[in-house]
């Protein structure tokens, strides 16, 4: 049972079985206020998961989370660290592994699975998210590998808004704009990585840019 947490765009939490069955999901699309909603979403997702897969009924049963999947971005510093901190705290409190996952991988898997279910081939594409300040973050993908994980052609990168389409054209990738990162797909990426014995993302967050803070300069010494 895997708990997925992502705050790279909005705030998303889900509990997923290792075979991909979604036990629960809770989201807030607000790109701000992650800290204000993350606790309530976690409580709701864990409580709903006790009733089995979404849409099913039955008596509550214990939810034993065995792994926590943390969305590592790309995302803004302030928002992204809320989800990573929540995932880390949950994993430490339960004594279970934390599995880092690139947030764009969850969107890519959603796209690839949707096309596979409809019998369509997926051409090379880029997951694109709004990085604000007239910039976009993008990662290019090309199909699934033998472990059922999205194949990255490029690592996440920033590009000026006006240059994005030309950059993707050079890479031969169609554009897929993402307004949210599905926590249930984040957890599924983690489940497939665990099954394959692979690490699919670094433990360091993929911040879009440095935080808008600076260390204050030391006070000037006043002579006597």
Question: What is the number of domains present in the chain?
Answer: 1
Q: Is the pLDDT of residue 213 over 80?
A: no
Residue 75: count of CB within 10 angstroms of its CB: 30
Residue 188: count of CB within 10 angstroms of its CB: 30
Tell me, what DSSP letter sits at residue 74? S
Which of the pair, 222 or 32, is modelled with greater confidence? 32
Q: Is residue 224 part of a domain?
A: no
Q: Is residue 209 part of a domain?
A: no
**Contact (Cβ atoms closer than 8 angstroms) between residue 23 and residue 33:** no
Q: Is residue 155 part of a domain?
A: yes
Q: Is residue 123 part of a domain?
A: yes
Segment 183-194, tens digit of pLDDT: 999 999 999 999
Helix, strand, coil share (%) of the chain residues, nearest 5: 35, 25, 40
Q: Is residue 221 part of a domain?
A: no
Whole-angstrom distance, CA of residue 108 vs CA of residue 1: 22
Q: Is residue 168 part of a domain?
A: yes
Q: Is residue 216 part of a domain?
A: no
Domain span including residue 130: 2-196
Whole-angstrom distance, CA of residue 167 vs CA of residue 4: 31
CA 19, 119, 177, 160 dihedral sign is: positive
Q: Is the pLDDT of residue 211 over 60?
A: no
Segment 98-146, tens digit of pLDDT: 999 999 999 999 999 999 999 999 999 999 999 988 999 999 999 999 9
Whole-angstrom distance, CA of residue 7 vs CA of residue 193: 21
Q: Is residue 203 part of a domain?
A: no
The reported pLDDT for the residue numbered 214 is 46
Residue 51 sits in a domain of what CATH number?
A: 3.30.420.40
């Amino acid at each position: 049972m895997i708990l997925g947490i992502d705050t790279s765009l909005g705030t998303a939490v889900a509990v997923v079985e290792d075979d991909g069955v979604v036990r629960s999901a809770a989201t807030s699309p607000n790109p701000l206020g992650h800290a204000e909603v993350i606790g309530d979403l976690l409580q709701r997702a864990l409580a709903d998961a006790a009733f089995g897969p979404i849409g099913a009924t039955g008596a509550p049963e214990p939810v034993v989370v065995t792994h926590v999947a943390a969305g590592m971005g790309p995302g803004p510093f302030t928002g992204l660290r809320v989800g990573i901190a929540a995932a880390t705290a949950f994993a430490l409190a339960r004594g279970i592994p934390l599995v880092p996952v690139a947030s764009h991988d969850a969107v890519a898997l959603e796209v690839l699975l949707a096309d596979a279910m409809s019998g369509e081939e997926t051409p090379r594409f880029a997951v694109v998210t709004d990085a604000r300040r007239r910039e976009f973050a993008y990662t290019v993908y090309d199909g699934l590998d033998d472990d059922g994980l999205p194949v990255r052609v490029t690592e996440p990168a920033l590009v000026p808004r006006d240059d994005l389409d030309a950059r993707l054209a050079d890479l031969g990738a169609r554009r897929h704009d993402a307004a949210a990162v599905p926590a249930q797909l984040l957890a599924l990426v983690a489940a497939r990585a665990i099954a394959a014995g692979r690490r699919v993302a670094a433990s360091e967050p993929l911040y879009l840019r440095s935080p808008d803070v600076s260390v204050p300069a030391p006070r000037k010494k006043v002579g006597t």
